[in-house]
């Protein structure tokens, strides 16, 4: 039995508490992977709410192994409206180009840390919920970049380590993500997308707008509360 358990395939899932990463984790579960959940506290505006959502989603997924990692690096770095209180989160519509909510190289750092966990745990897959089309112009959400990170990770780990980075949502529209989540009975009421608030979502930041537009196009009501 012990050998059989060790043979079970594992996926390290980076989970923010948001809709996209939650759906990605459910897709890994439905594909037969044992989920190892990884969450990062990086002193972002909605850190407490995101952690609360992650814990509830992990419970719903019946995750047995999880890592909650605290990083103060991004707060020291600043340079993003998510981590620097001197920079306002925009609420006047989706920005052109790379927005001020972009956190420099965040996904690269998250993937590197998750890769270390995957190597330690003997996982063959890393899951990340990047969405290229609806990513607000974040350069670290592009398929080309994630693929390059996969190659770098495998070059920088043991020869017997072979990690695939799965990004199952990368080419989906937000409305398709909503529909796929509903099909898989993902508890969307437990997820959080707002960049500003931790009680009721603002409904005005880029992330809220993308989420609300996705629900509207899917023809269903968003189950979370808005101001």
Q: Is residue 93 part of a domain?
A: yes
Q: Which residue has the tokens 């019946």?
A: 62
Domain count across the chain: 1
Look up residue 171 and give its two tokens: 């080419």
Q: Is residue 226 part of a domain?
A: no
Look up residue 11 and give its two tokens: 């996926």
Distance in angstroms (rounded) separating the CA atoms of residues 101 and 115 = 25
Look at residue 136 in the predicted model and tell me its pLDDT: 65
Q: Is residue 39 part of a domain?
A: yes
Q: What is the CATH number of the domain that holds 137?
A: 3.40.50.620
Determine contact, residues 63/33, Cβ cutoff 8 Å: no
Q: What is the pLDDT along the chain (227 residues), one digit of tens a residue?
A: 334 445 689 999 999 999 999 999 999 999 999 999 999 999 999 999 999 999 999 999 999 999 999 999 999 999 999 999 999 999 987 767 899 999 999 999 999 999 999 999 999 999 999 998 765 689 999 999 999 999 999 999 999 999 999 999 999 999 999 999 999 999 999 999 999 999 999 999 999 999 999 999 999 999 999 99
Q: Is residue 225 part of a domain?
A: no
Distance in angstroms (rounded) separating the CA atoms of residues 130 and 166 = 10
Give the pairing of strands 34-41 and 65-70: parallel
Q: Which domain holds residue 185?
A: 2-218
What's the CA angle centered on 216, arms 22 and 83, to 5 degrees? 50
Q: Is residue 16 part of a domain?
A: yes
Distance in angstroms (rounded) separating the CA atoms of residues 3 and 223 = 42
Report the number of secondary-structure helices (H) and strands (E) in the chain. 8, 5
Look up residue 128 and give its two tokens: 């990340």
Q: Is residue 224 part of a domain?
A: no
Look at residue 155 in the predicted model and tell me its pLDDT: 98
Look up residue 92 and give its two tokens: 């006047």
pTM: 0.94
Distance in angstroms (rounded) separating the CA atoms of residues 23 and 65 = 18
Q: Is residue 174 part of a domain?
A: yes
């Amino acid at each position: 039995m012990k050998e059989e358990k060790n043979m079970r395939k594992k996926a390290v899932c980076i989970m923010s508490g948001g809709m996209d990463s939650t759906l990605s984790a459910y897709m890994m579960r439905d594909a037969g992977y044992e989920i190892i959940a990884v969450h990062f506290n990086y002193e972002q505006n909605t850190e407490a709410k995101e952690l609360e959502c992650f814990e509830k989603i992990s419970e719903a997924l019946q995750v047995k192994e999880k890592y909650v990692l605290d990083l103060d690096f991004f707060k020291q770095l600043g340079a993003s409206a998510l981590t620097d209180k001197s920079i306002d989160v925009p609420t006047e519509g989706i920005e052109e180009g790379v927005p001020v909510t972009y956190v420099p190289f965040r996904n690269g750092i998250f993937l590197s840390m998750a890769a270390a966990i995957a190597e330690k745990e003997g996982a063959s897959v890393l899951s990340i919920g990047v969405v290229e089309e609806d990513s607000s112009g974040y350069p670290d959400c592009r398929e080309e970049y994630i693929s390059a990170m996969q190659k770098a990770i495998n070059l920088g780990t043991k020869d017997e380590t072979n990690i695939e980075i799965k990004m199952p949502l990368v080419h989906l529209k937000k409305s398709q993500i909503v529909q796929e989540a509903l099909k898989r009975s993902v508890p969307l009421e437990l997820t959080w997308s707002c960049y500003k608030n931790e009680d009721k979502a603002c409904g005005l930041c880029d992330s809220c707008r993308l989420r609300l537009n996705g629900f509207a196009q899917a023809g269903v009501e968003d189950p979370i509360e808005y101001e």
